[in-house]
């Protein structure tokens, strides 16, 4: 009898553990952890450079830092959850999204909707504890992603990528405004950098997932106009990045050199795309390089200013 009870208990525990693991896996997919990480990184860069340009030490704003990062993450998570909730009718048509909880039903839709709203409101409230301007930028980012991109443009226009880029470019403004409500030209250039960066980044992804988007009827540029035009658009956007590091000359020559090398490297890969035979392999290289680009670009901004901010 004891052996049976012990065995049954172990089976229940395994089931519970598996259920909890599946639940948290589904939650992480709903909030899109990868998107949160990249956006929090750029928000941190905005926060950090605001300290640098206002001659303020990090120790004087450590509490504001944690509130800002948490608020930014929650606003983004809320918008992503609501994006998944809204797209529940087309997600079953795409291989990369058909296992989402909104499709499988592993989490009730009512819970997902409430979760998205709760995360969004919580994030805005936290940002309000820093500055009103930071909360406003957070709300603008949320509105751009969920309303302008998800609801309005994603299923209608090939420029949906550019429209969605507005939301991804907002985090540095949030981070900066949390420290200094009066935005500096550097914050605006950071916004422009990410705004421009996102189009070649997401067009590379759209090429990789072209069949998925076609099946779901989403008018991504490569679906509607093909790969050649998409490649030209990507190169145009990358070219627009070239002068931006020179507008940040106050960060020093090390930053300008590294940023320029990143830009030239990406442009070189982009131009090679006109001559490759395997478009999908090239698109994958472009996508991976774009992630490397963003990480190194913004980490360099932070590293070159560390002596002034931590002193």
What's residue 21's pLDDT? 72
6 against 154, higher pLDDT: 154
Interval 268-283: pLDDT, tens? 999 999 999 999 999 9
pTM of the model: 0.91
Mean pLDDT of the 169-193 span: 96
Q: What is the pLDDT of residues 158-178, one digit of tens each?
A: 999 999 999 999 999 999 999
- On the question of pLDDT at 69 being above 90, the answer is yes
Q: Domains of the chain, with CATH numbers? A: 29-310 (1.10.600)
55: how many CB neighbours lie within 10 A of its CB? Answer: 8
pLDDT at 12: 40
């Amino acid at each position: 009898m004891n052996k049976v009870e012990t065995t049954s208990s172990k089976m229940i525990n395994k089931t519970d553990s598996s259920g909890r693991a599946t639940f948290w896996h589904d939650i992480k997919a709903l909030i899109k952890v990868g998107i949160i990480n990249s956006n929090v990184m750029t928000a941190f860069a905005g926060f950090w450079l605001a300290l640098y340009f206002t001659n303020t030490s990090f120790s004087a704003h450590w509490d504001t830092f944690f509130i800002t990062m948490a608020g930014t993450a929650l606003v983004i998570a809320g918008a992503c959850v609501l994006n998944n909730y809204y797209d529940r009718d087309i997600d079953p048509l795409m291989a990369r999204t058909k296992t989402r909880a909104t499709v499988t039903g592993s989490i009730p839709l009512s819970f997902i909707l409430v979760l998205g709203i709760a995360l969004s409101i919580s994030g805005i409230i936290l940002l309000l504890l820093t500055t009103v301007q930071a909360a406003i930028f957070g709300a603008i980012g949320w509105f751009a992603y969920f309303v302008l991109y998800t609801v309005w443009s994603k299923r209608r226009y090939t420029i949906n990528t550019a429209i969605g880029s507005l939301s991804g470019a907002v985090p540095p403004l949030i981070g900066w405004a949390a420290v200094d409500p009066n935005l500096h030209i550097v914050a605006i250039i950071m916004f422009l950098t990410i705004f421009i960066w996102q189009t070649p980044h997401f067009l590379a992804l759209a090429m990789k997932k072209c069949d998925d988007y076609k099946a779901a009827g989403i008018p991504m540029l490569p679906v509607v106009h093909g790969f050649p035009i998409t490649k030209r658009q990507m190169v145009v956007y990358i070219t627009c990045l070239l002068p931006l590091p020179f507008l940040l000359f106050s960060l020093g020559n090390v930053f300008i050199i590294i940023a320029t090398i990143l830009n030239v490297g990406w442009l070189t890969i982009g131009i090679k795309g006109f001559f490759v035979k395997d478009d999908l392999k090239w698109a994958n290289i472009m996508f991976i390089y774009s992630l490397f680009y963003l990480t190194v670009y913004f980490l360099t901004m932070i590293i070159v200013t560390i002596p002034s901010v931590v002193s």
